[in-house]
Amino acid sequence: MAFFGETYFYMFTATLNPSGLKDSKKNDDMSPLVKLTISCLFAILIMTPDSANSHPWGGLVIDAEGNIYFTFICPMVDNDHHACVWKIDPNQELSEVLQSRRSPSDIVLARTQNRIIYGAERTGQNPNQSYSLWRINESGGTPFIKPTTNQELFFIQSYAVSDDGDIYFARDSKIFVRSSDQSISEFKLDQEIGRIGLLSFSPSGKLFIVAEDGLYKKNKNGLELIAKQLKEENPENIPFRGANILFDMTIDKDENIYLAYYGNRQVIRISADREKKVILEAKAPWSPHGIDIHNGEVYVLESTLGDGKWWEFWNRNDDRIIPRIRRINADGTVSVIYDYLEANPD
């Protein structure tokens, strides 16, 4: 997951109530007063084509046991505001798994083909941003790459991790591989494809790449163009100016590709025979920015900017930035796994 642009942060306070989890067998026994109060930090993006910076934000992944991990904002513990990783277990219980080291911060999730979970953390402000990588499990995170300010060692424009532990990370229009022995080499591409936005491995271990407005697959003989014009030029449902972004990508065992199209509030599927289809749409103010597939079902992380003026949302009760998770079932129906608004109707 990744996207491009200058980033501006604003603070607000929201409340996550675990009773907002859907289909929970324990909801009836859960006190509605049990709440997690979190102070949230949101990125308002003003897109600049010449910007050398990239701001990855969030994501959703699922491990082999069916635990859902997603990134949002940490609880307020002091005057700082942190990103964190949340987990929804198979019993539909919500818990915090990992908190960033400092603020401002981002944590971007990825998983291997065998569903080992990683979280890339970016902290601080230019020119002193540091980049690190966690290996995440149900109880927390283990440092995998220590914090570094050297972008040649690790960078969070977009990244993916293979089953053998090799880390593929993008910097501008190039891809680099950090091997398990810590050596770093360029992953040579046989053609120029422009600035890289998304990297993801298929279950069979093939690397898929979104660059500029094209989708590519890395084969033994080189890059294969799968699709172009992934985004609308002027999307009707864009959340705000400059937000025409593809946020996340996942691939199933048949090499169908799923894209979280934040800029038009859609989930797009590109089939193995290259048919493009919208399989989920969100109504304003919701937009998708995380996606994964598990047991043939597609899970989507969405959030909202609220209904009022975005530049005034910290002073308005109706402008809450909040998460929800929906699932596209195998039969095409849609279920809600977590919904902040239903948990907190007032």
pLDDT in tens, 125-160: 878 899 999 999 988 999 999 999 999 999 999 999
Residue 135 lies in a domain: yes
With respect to residue 237, please indicate whether it lies within any of the assigned structural domains. yes
Which stretch of 193-197, 241-245, 261-265, 295-299 has the lowest confidence by average pLDDT?
241-245
C-alpha gyration radius of the chain: 19
Output the pLDDT for position 88.
93
Q: Which domain holds residue 318?
A: 6-343
Between 124 and 98, where is the model more confident? 98
196 part of a folded domain:
yes
Indicate which CATH number applies to the domain containing 212.
Answer: 2.120.10.30
Would residue 304 count as lying in a domain? yes
Tell me, what's the pLDDT at 131?
A: 96
Residue 44 confidence (pLDDT) above 90? no
Which tops the pLDDT comparison, 49 or 271? 271
Work out how many domains the chain is built from and give that number. Answer: 1
- Whether 127 is in a domain gets the answer yes
Is residue 253 domain-resident? yes
Looking at the predicted structure, is the pLDDT value of residue 247 above 80? Answer: yes
Q: Tell me: pLDDT of 194 over 70.
A: yes
Residues 299-338, buried b or exposed e (16+ Cβ, 10 A)?
A: bbbbbbbbeeebeebeeeeebbbbbbbbbbeeeeeeeebb
The pLDDT of 55-64, averaged and rounded, is: 77
Q: Quote the tokens at residue 16.
A: 């996550």
Whether residue 1 lies inside any domain: the answer is no
Between 149 and 102, whose confidence is greater? 149
Of 96-105, 125-134, 225-234, minimum mean pLDDT range: 96-105
Rounded CA separation 289/280 (Å): 13
pLDDT band at 328, cuts 50/70/90? Answer: very high
Q: 89 lies in a domain?
A: yes
Is the pLDDT confidence value at 318 over 90?
Answer: no
| Of 259, 255, 233, 228, the residue nearest 244 (C-alpha) | 233
